[in-house]
Structure 1
Amino acid sequence: MKITLRIVRLRLASLLAVTLPVGAITTPQIIASALSPDCLEYRVAGICYWLLCTPYGCTVKTSVKVRHNLPDLVVSAYSTPGDNPWQEMAVAGTALPGAEEGGDTHSRITHNKTRIRFKNADAFGHPADAAFYRFLSGLGYSCSGSAVPFQPYFVSTLDILAWRGGIPEMFYPEALTPGLRELGAPGDLWGNIYPRAGALGQTNDYKAAATMAQRAADIVTRTGQLHVYLPQTTSARPGYWPPEPVQEGKPGNHTWQRLSPQMSTTCAIFPDPPDPPATADWRDRYSENGSYSWALWRPYACCQRRGQTFLGSTGG
């Protein structure tokens, strides 16, 4: 047994030690990043009430209601087709006819004049595996997620008309009304959510990529959108409350964990951090090749079934 464990450790160490392109990230690294109490935010939220009936009568049973986040998606934004930082998934975003090019109209200098930046974007099911769920179960009762690991929910090179042309969303009220559906902080606009396409006027490469990730998450967490994608949604049921669609800037709705170019062990919503403060260190956020990735964490609430009929619950 000791020899076997040693071999496994050596193989894992050699896998993590492989020389990768700058900012690249692998599946084992993404799985390890999910072991983050800060992103999980596990807490007991209340009590659920169930009606349990037997041939001898009915009684009310209770169970603990818990709330915590789960890593649903890995969302990447990158300048050139095929440059998804998640190495095992990069092949899915390679160029197709009509989606061969990308990138920016200038270099990634923070304070140069505004030009149009273009990013491809992908959203795949987070690969969290048994190790993550053992970590989660160690805290107590936990909720199941709705995402399928490695499932391609959105690949922008397949969504050519909408992601490359902004059609038809460029004509939506959200795209034509200033101040509606915008990402950023007062005095620090990162970008507009609509049209949910790959082009954006933005001097800051990280902010442009974050806006593209937000747009991709906005698409896949809703049904009936005019894009080529698979919805990452599920319905509520007795004792189970899945997350709402992603909404920019809304506390408690979702959080982002930076995976690439520099991995973070904490989660936040965009803007992260906002400008000012001028002292904020942005160096870890910038990618040399314009490729970025984040884990999207979303909140779930649930309780253990203790009877045939769900009567209600207390707490958030």
Structure 2
Amino acid sequence: MHTASRRLRLAIASVLLANSASSFALNTATIVASALSPDCLEYRVTGICYWLYCTLTGCTVRTSVKVRHYVPDAVVSSYSNTGENPWIEVRAMSLPNPTAQAGGDGTTNEAHENNLAKFKNADVIGHPGGHVFGQFASAFGYNCAGAGTAFMPYLLSTLDTVAWRYNVPESLYPEALIPGLREIGTRTAMNLWGNVYPRGGFLHQVDDHKAAAVVAQRAGDIVTRRNQIHVYRPLLASPRTGYWPAGALMETDPSTGKWQELTPTLSNTCAVFPHGNTRAQARQGDYAWALWRPYSCCRRRGQVFLGSVDFM
């Protein structure tokens, strides 16, 4: 019976994703439906937790299953024109202000201007699909909580002007000055998309989709770390008994997080940058991804946590 129910939920999820893909604008309903992705969830039983359970008659050791899966923590938008976040309902969060005006790429109106810098704003906002995702994930078994709060702004580049538009002080960091450090892709594999540092809105990249992806990675890099020299709120949960939250996001490493494209095309799978999937170009230079991050947890079955054992 449980298997039949699980299959039914997966079928419903596929239908909702297909219907959302036909939607032109990126709105909250589309984003919520996108969270019903078994590929992005990647649910696994990884081990066993041990608990000491005591009553007036004595103590016993109880066990619970340790699971690991990904959670859609945030929507990361990367877009050219200030104030035009592709997620319609949250545009008012990042309108132009006296220190953050306009946007777009440098141009000379010539066809061979590939050497000019591109610019992208970036917003990291809590994923709105938490409740629906929780019900979806529970069909697989016990599920873990993520760090994101729906609609919470974790980074708005319009409020991070000094670091985002002037690269101060990160343009002087070793990661920004030494080729090969903190890069998305490699030169030897001929798939270099760009550098993570300096974590601002400017970069040189001919492909607009790749440029937006690099900027999204930069924004995710900032919010998944504490004490960065940016105006932001950390997107991190604190570990506790029987709960192991996601840590710092690292480029090209799916064990730290992965991306689900939301616009200009809606994907029902997740990947890390760089990847070989078809990359549609947005007409207005506006892109968005859901950032999925891994969490592990087990159900509490006693007063004292004795430890856990992971399967090979």
Q: Helix, strand or coil for the counterpart of 2:50?
A: strand
Question: Does residue 55 of structure 2 align to residue 60 of structure 1?
Answer: no
Note if contact 1:111-1:204 (Cα within 8 Å) is conserved in structure 2. Answer: no
What are the residue-to-residue correspondences of 1:4-83 with 2, within 5 Å?
24-83=25-84
CA distance in 2, matches of 1:281, 1:211: 16
Q: Partners of 1:297 and 1:110 in 2: how far apart? A: 38
Instruction: Give the letter for the 1:221 counterpart.
Output: T
**Do residues 139 (structure 1) and 140 (structure 2) align?**
yes
Tell me which of 256, 261, 283 is aligned to 2:259. Answer: 256
- Aligned partner letter, 1:297: W
Q: C-alpha displacement at 1:91, in angstroms?
A: 1.6
Which residue does the alignment assign to 1:192? Answer: 195
Q: Helix, strand or coil for the counterpart of 1:29?
A: helix
Q: Show CA shifts across 1:135-177 (max 9, x none).
A: 1111111111111100000000000000000001111111111
Q: Is the 8 A contact 1:109 1:203 kept in 2?
A: no
Per the alignment, residue 301 of structure 2 pairs with 306
Is 1:281 the counterpart of 2:278? The answer is yes
Mapped pair 1:215 → 2:218: yes
Q: 1:291 aligns with which of 275, 278, 286?
A: 286
1:110–1:203 contact (8 Å) kept in structure 2? no
SS at match of 2:192: strand
Superposed displacement of residue 109, structure 1: 11
Q: Report Cα offsets for 1:229-270 as digits up to 9, x if no partner.
A: 011111111110001110001131111000001100110000
| Structure 2 counterpart of 1:266 | 269
Tell me the residue number matched to 1:165. 166
Match of 1:123 in 2: 124
Structure 1: stretches of 5+ with no match in the other structure: 1-12, 274-279
Distance 1:107 1:163 in 2: 23
8 A Cα contact 1:79 1:120, kept in partner: yes
**How big is each residue's C-alpha offset from its partner over 1:14-48, in whole Å with a ceiling of 9 and x where there is no partner?**
xx99x98xx63000000000000010001111100
Which letter does structure 2 place at the counterpart of 1:281?
Answer: T
1:265-293 deviation line (CA, Å, top 9, x unaligned):
110000122xxxxxx633xx210010000
Match 2:208 to one of 205, 209, 224: 205
* CA distances 1:159-199 after superposition (whole Å, capped 9, x unpaired): 00000000011111111111000112432211111110100
Equivalent-residue separation in structure 1 for 2:61 and 2:158 (angstroms): 53
**Letter aligned with residue 314 of structure 1:** V
Number of residue-to-residue matches in the alignment: 291
Contact 1:106-1:115 at 8 Å conserved across structures: yes
TM-score (norm 1): 0.87
Match of 2:249 in 1: 246
User: 2:181: which partner in 1?
Assistant: 180
Q: Are 1:110 and 1:205, in contact at CA under 8 Å, matched by a contact in 2?
A: no
* Letter of the 1:265 counterpart: N
Report sequence identity in percent: 54
Per the alignment, residue 87 of structure 1 pairs with 88
Point out 4+ residue stretches in structure 1 off by more than 3 angstroms.
Answer: 106-112
CA deviation string 1:38-89 (max 9, x = no partner): 1000111110001112222221110001110000010000001111110001
In structure 2, distance between residues paired with 1:221 and 1:188: 25
2:143 and 2:161 map into 1 onto residues whose CA distance is 39
- SS for the counterpart of 1:245 is coil
Q: Is the CA contact (8 Å cut-off) linking 1:111 and 1:203 kept in structure 2?
A: no
Aligned-partner SS, 1:223: coil
- Structure 2, unmatched stretches of 5+, are 1-15
Provide closer, same or farther for how the CA distance between residues 86 and 110 of structure 1 changes in structure 2, counting only shifts above 3 A: farther
What is residue 237 of structure 1 aligned with on the other side?
240
TM-score by length of 2: 0.88
Instruction: Report the equivalent of 2:8.
Output: none
Deviates more, 1:115-124 or 1:102-111: 102-111
The 1:69–1:58 alpha-carbon spacing in structure 2 relative to 1, beyond 3 Å, is: same
- Higher mean displacement: 164-173 or 51-60: 51-60
